Amino acid sequence: MDDTVRQHKYVLTEDQMPTTWYNIMVDLPTLPPPPLHPGTREPVGPQDLAPLFPMELILQEVSMDRYIEIPGGVLDVYRQWRPSPLFRAHNLEKALGTPARIYYKYEGVSPAGSHKPNTSVPQAYYNKKEGTTKLTTETGAGQWGTALAFACALYDMECEVWQVGASYDAKPYRRLMIEAFGASVHRSPSQLTDIGRQLAQDPRNASGSLGIAISEAVEVAAKDPNTRYALGSVLNHVLLHQTIIGEEALLQLAMAGDTPTHIVGCTGGGSNFAGLSFPFLREKLAGRISPRIIAAEPASCPSLTKGVYAYDYGDAAGMTPLMKMHTLGHDFIPDPIHAGGLRYHGMAPLISHVYEEGMMEAVAIPQTECFAAAVQFARTEGIVPAPEPTHALAVAVREALRAKETGEETVILTALCGHGHFDLAAYDQYLRGAMVDEDFSQDRLNEALATIPEVAGV
């Protein structure tokens, strides 16, 4: 036994918790192109978004303030699980035999078990303040639905969730948790909305998609003046709320006396990755540090590495504004891989822009490599990761093994954005040797890319 005493946990006190979110827009050399109205194709104004979102969030969406105060009521709720811990993965490093130092910021300590409450709480807070009585949303694996149901319960609002059909069938436990928090859950496509009834007629839509579930939730919110819609990723205000992750990690790495050379995160819509990396990108743009910033996405839903950068809809039915983003096409239906949270056809416009500007990299990883890294992580660090962050862990392992060969000074920071306690069926499949890497179909991608609307002048 090795009895060396090593510090492996970096904890901030409540008083050290950051009290502002960081808005990267102010520090970017160029601004991302604006969202366009789906009908007129003109840039959307605040009034266009007012039926769906409270004004405070609409203003955050376009804010040019570098720091935005976190309301006291939100800080109070954050303190239930924040500041979240940063760990040094000494045991994983040892198992890999790598000289690299690996740190992970753990967001699985929240009531929902992921980073999602960092934004569900302020979204519910601002809605409540502006008189909303009910929120609708979509969810894939159920993490966002759980987080929003938790936040709505806190603020005594109704919550109605459309869950992607495949996940609804395969993952009953998060649905039950959503119901335990008092929200209602429907299998999408459902018979409750015009768009659900219409899309359900095509058998290819039977297993659902995030794009379809978004269309259903948006339709219901748009029809009722007291109901609004909440999105768990992609939009600027969502990425903004997640920056508390990176702000805390900056302080914690300073406690450790270390500077990252690699920042790695998984990307579905891009919110946890932006949350971790944007405060570090601020430091990089200011010339104080120079880490590589790497997004890890699934090989079966590779919006950054195989998608195009174009204006596309955020949902399947074309009801949302057109956003300039990396997209596989709004009716792309990815294979039913285990990382349900990464099965979105698009990527946050802000992440897409930062990627196009060459400020970050992306890599696509097959799911068996992810679970190999996850199992090694669980057996060394004692935490069973959600399927989504296993993509980031796989990249961390790749880079740590590279450091072993090259001897290059390597300090990896990653976001362990959720635990996998409700995803054990995926582990079961991996451990039985039954997990396969889906083939990515170029034909299916081409079909979906062909439906991206043509927008003049871009």
Judged by CB, which is closer to ligand PLP: 114, or 215? Answer: 114
The least distance separating ligand PLP from the CB of residue 116, rounded to whole angstroms, comes to 5
Judged by CB, which is closer to ligand PLP: 119, or 410? Answer: 119
Residue 238's nearest CA partner among 101, 137, 362 is 137
Contact 191, 197 (CB under 8 A): yes
- Decide if residue 267 touches ligand PLP (CB under 6 A): yes
The least distance separating ligand PLP from the CB of residue 113, rounded to whole angstroms, comes to 8
Give me the residue label for tokens 């003109």. Answer: 42
- Decide if residue 298 touches ligand PLP (CB under 6 A): no
Judged by CB, which is closer to ligand PLP: 203, or 382? Answer: 382
* Window of 358-366, 382-390, 397-405, 431-439 that interacts with ligand PLP by CB under 6 A: 382-390
Q: Which of 91, 114, 227, 352 binds ligand PLP (CB under 6 A)?
A: 114
The full 3-state SS of the chain, as one line of letters, equals CCCCCCCCEECCCHHHCCCEEECHHHHCCCCCCCCECCCCCCECCHHHHCCCCCHHHHHHHCCCCCEEECCHHHHHHHCCCCCCCEEECHHHHHHHCCCCEEEEEECCCCCCCECCHHHHHHHHHHHHHCCCCEEEEEECCCHHHHHHHHHHHHCCCEEEEEEEHHHHHHCHHHHHHHHHCCCEEEEECCCCCHHHHHHCCCHHHCCCCHHHHHHHHHHHHHHCCCEEECCCCCCHHHHHHHHHHHHHHHHHHHHHCCCCCEEEEECCCCHHHHHHHHHHHHHHHCCCCCCEEEEEEECCCCCCCCCEEEEEECCCCCCCCEEEEEECCCCCCCCCCCCHHHCCCECCHHHHHHHHCCCCEEEEECHHHHHHHHHHHHHHHCCCECCCCHHHHHHHHHHHHHHHHHCCCCEEEEEECEECCCCHHHHHHHHCCCCCCCCCCHHHHHHHHCCCCCCCCC
The least distance separating ligand PLP from the CB of residue 298, rounded to whole angstroms, comes to 10
Judged by CB, which is closer to ligand PLP: 98, or 242? Answer: 242
Restricting to residues 342-371, name those near ligand PLP by CB under 6 A.
342
Give me the residue label for tokens 């502002």. Answer: 20
Judged by CB, which is closer to ligand PLP: 92, or 370? Answer: 370
Judged by CB, which is closer to ligand PLP: 44, or 164? Answer: 164
- Decide if residue 233 touches ligand PLP (CB under 6 A): yes
Judged by CB, which is closer to ligand PLP: 83, or 142? Answer: 142
Q: Which of 144, 162, 280, 371 binds ligand PLP (CB under 6 A)?
A: 144
The 182-201 site mask, x for binding ligand PLP (CB under 6 A), equals --------------------
Q: CA of 356: how far to CAs of 28, 62, 324, 351, 363, in Å?
A: 12, 20, 11, 9, 14
The least distance separating ligand PLP from the CB of residue 274, rounded to whole angstroms, comes to 8
Q: Which of 32, 208, 269, 321 binds ligand PLP (CB under 6 A)?
A: 269
Can you read off the two tokens belonging to residue 429? Answer: 């499949």
Size of the site for ligand PLP (CB under 6 A): 20
Restricting to residues 418-437, name those near ligand PLP by CB under 6 A.
418
- Decide if residue 341 touches ligand PLP (CB under 6 A): yes
* Window of 191-199, 243-251, 278-286, 383-391 that interacts with ligand PLP by CB under 6 A: 383-391
Judged by CB, which is closer to ligand PLP: 243, or 267? Answer: 267
Judged by CB, which is closer to ligand PLP: 165, or 346? Answer: 346
Judged by CB, which is closer to ligand PLP: 272, or 277? Answer: 272
Backbone φ and ψ for 102, nearest 5 degrees, come out as -120, 125
The least distance separating ligand PLP from the CB of residue 413, rounded to whole angstroms, comes to 16
The least distance separating ligand PLP from the CB of residue 334, rounded to whole angstroms, comes to 13
The least distance separating ligand PLP from the CB of residue 233, rounded to whole angstroms, comes to 3
- Decide if residue 178 touches ligand PLP (CB under 6 A): no
Judged by CB, which is closer to ligand PLP: 207, or 271? Answer: 271
Q: Given the rule CB under 6 A, which residues bind ligand PLP?
A: 114, 116, 143-144, 233, 266-273, 341-342, 386, 388-389, 417-418
